[in-house]
Amino acid sequence: MLHFSRFKTIAILLTCLAGFLVALPNFFTKEQLATWPSFMPKNQMPLGLDLQGGAHLLLGMDQEEIKKDWFNNLRDSVRKSLRDERIGASAIGVQGGQMSVRLVKPEETEAALKLLKKLAQPIGNAILGSAGMDMEVSQGSDPGTIILKPTEQGIRQRIAHAAEASIATLTRRVNALGTSEATVVRQGQDRILIQYPGLQDTGPLKRILGETAKLTFHEVHPSITAEDAKLTSIPTGYRIFPGAKDEGGGDYLLREIPVVQGEDLADAQPAFDSRNGEPVINFRFNQSGARKFGEFTKDNVGRPFAIVLDDKVLSAPVIREPILGGTGQISGNFTVESSNALAVQLRSGALPTKLTIVEERTVGPSLGADSINAGKNAGIIGGIGVVILTILAYGTFGIFAVVGLLVHLMMTVALMTLIGSTLTLPGIAGLVLGVAMAVDANVLIYERIREELRTGKSAVSAIDAGFTRAFITIADSQLTTLACAVIMFWLGSGPIRGFAVTLTLGIITSIFASVTVVRLLVSRWLKAQTDQRRKLEVPV
């Protein structure tokens, strides 16, 4: 176990050297790194909000809008179910948090009730079991009336799903801005926390996060304008949509159910119009969206269709020819910045509900600098104490243990730099804890060596047995800690995940440093001692 081949020795030394080079940029400023040769690594660990300052936004979801969207989708499902079974409905209305369906023929109430009960969905999953239904379907007090009312569990489930979808969308939007450091997590039932390190001006962030970016394509009424509908009546299935203010257009009478929705959008990229050079957005549908869009444009050549963003008509161009390729272009007095921001929003998907800023804070970098300095001071003082105690307790072997600790620390920082892990205050705590665990591994090895020496074994045999037998204990203790770190990463969020990542990397590097690197140092020391003893024993 104490013998190292030349190949293994070179591999260990190269690994330590690579870790040192990757970790080195973290101890210099960006200005100093700019003067380094191009072949040198220059990546640094990103710092969290608590270390470098930044923006803190707490967003609240509109529960009423979530319920409204639910009722709108439910209305379409009710109409389709009744139409497929040829059951007539004279009115479908929403009032007082419930939907009322009035049938044309009251004698069809029993059949309609049985049919609409199928729309209620169970809450829960196959593992945990069902916790009830998301809505109650019952017969109303008036003949031929059916009531559909969401349950409390159903509303909570809808809000939870909206929160999950919002977090996924917001994360994609933030990442599209060019950062991997932002934290997007849910707080409470209907709030979402965003922490964006290094950002002092929250204006651009609020603009790109606040818009729902719900893109839809609608059929324009072929004969009645919005002004005529206002004077008479709005046809069934149609709705008046306002035009975008920057377009200066009036209102539009569009079919309420869109031809193609934003969910069918596969990609959106900012570009420039080849004819006039103005900023535009090129979009591409997925297979389903391309098919629906192609069929609609094929059947409506010569008629206008409306491109609607967040319930406002961007433009209503006339279909000159069938658009069968599934691609198109959106124009609308965009600037380069606005076209890029809108493309990011469209690519990331629509937010399921409007988000409002409940709390906004900006953390200054001075607070982070104080935290870093305090962490450095604590680390230096603790490190000096560990070095002194280790050397006093184990002498030369204590020096080897200190070298192993330095290797462990550099390798941990190097791995965090490579994977882009954000360093936060809990992450610093994880680094300190990793150092303590690395020391503990060396203590286990050295104490085992002392026990072997007490049994009368030679120094070489005792050292070999100490490293071999102590490794089992070290692996057992580190695996239990690793299991805890994995659970923290799985169930935790934000700083807890940062701590779990740092702790996991510390466990991996501590085993490498304490067992492999220190054993190599001890092996070379023993060889040097043996060679020196042999020289002294040679007769003159």
Query: What is the average pLDDT score of the chain?
Result: 80
Q: What confidence tier does 15 reach under pLDDT thresholds 50, 70, 90?
A: very high
- CA-to-CA distance for 27 and 43, rounded, in angstroms? 11
Position 345 scores a pLDDT of 63
Q: Are 195 and 183 in contact (CB under 8 A)?
A: yes
| Strand extents, DSSP E, 323-439 | 327-330, 355-363
Specify the CATH number for 211-333; select among 3.40.50.1400, 3.40.50.300, 3.20.20.140, 3.30.1360.200: 3.30.1360.200
**3-class state of residue 101 by DSSP:** strand
- Of 332, 326, 328, 317, the C-alpha closest to 283 is 328
179-216: per-residue pLDDT in tens?
Answer: 556 778 888 888 888 887 777 777 777 776 766 567 78
Residue 369 pLDDT exceeds 80:
no
Candidates 351, 314, 310, 355; CA nearest to 332 is 314
Alpha helices in 233-364 (DSSP H): 287-299, 336-348
- Domain assignments of the chain as residue spans, ordered by start: 6-47+364-537, 91-158, 211-333
> What single-letter amino acid sits at 212?
T
Query: What pLDDT shows up at residue 248?
Result: 53
In terms of pLDDT, which residue wins out, 432 or 408? 408
Residue 429 is classified by DSSP as H
Long-range contacts of 236-240 (CB under 8 A, 24+ apart): none
R_g of the chain, CA atoms, integer Å:
33
Which pLDDT band, with edges at 50, 70 and 90, does 17 fall under?
very high
Distance CA 420, CA 442 (A): 29
pLDDT tens digits, 166-183: 887 787 777 665 555 677
Q: Per-residue pLDDT tens for 464-474? A: 888 888 888 88
Residues 282-331 pLDDT 10s? 878 777 788 888 888 888 888 888 888 777 887 787 787 787 777 777 76
The length of the chain is: 540
Residue 334 to residues 209, 263, 419, Cα–Cα distance (Å) = 18, 23, 37
More confident call, 113 vs 347: 113
Fold agreement (6-47+364-537, 211-333): no
In 75-233, beta strands by DSSP E: 89-95, 98-103, 122-125, 129-133, 135-139, 145-150, 183-187, 191-197, 215-219
- pLDDT of 350: 61
Note the CATH architecture for domain 6-47+364-537: Up-down Bundle (1.20)
416-460 confidence digits (pLDDT tens): 888 877 787 788 888 888 887 888 888 888 888 888 888 888 888
Q: What is the pLDDT of residues 86-104, one digit of tens each?
A: 888 888 888 888 889 989 8
Residues of the chain above pLDDT 70, percent: 88
